[in-house]
Amino acid sequence: MIEWHRVSTIINELFEKYRIEGIAMPYTIEDFKRDYVLEHIGKLSPDEVLKKYSVNDRLKGLTINDLISNLSPEEIEALKKELIKK
């Protein structure tokens, strides 16, 4: 069954974008979905966003220095001790 309220929301968002921005290029549903999420992601908590991604996805592109730079001296010491055990 079609959820008409969702369809009308999408159509209204698209019309608004065309009216305000005068978009001259094709605007796909994928473009709309991406833009819609980017415009509304602030309504979600960081935890809600992060739980959508695996730990590996969240760590992609980070170096060991990136990770360590966010640890307190106490956390670094605890990590050192844990690594020595192994």
The domain of 69 spans: 53-86
Q: What is the pLDDT of residue 25?
A: 59
Whether the predicted pLDDT of 1 surpasses 60: no
Average pLDDT of the residues in 23-46: 85
| 85, 57: one domain | yes
Mean pLDDT, rounded, of the chain: 84
The percent of residues above 90 in pLDDT, for the chain, comes to 41
Which of the four pLDDT bands, split at 50, 70 and 90, describes residue 75? very high
Rounded CA gap, 70 and 49, in Å?
20
| 12, 41: one domain | yes
| 57, 41: one domain | no
Write out the H or E segment, with its range, that includes residue 81: helix 73-85
Q: Which residue from 20, 22, 18, 38 is spatially nearest to 30, judged by alpha carbons?
A: 38
**Predicted structure pTM score:** 0.45
Give the chain's domain count. Answer: 2
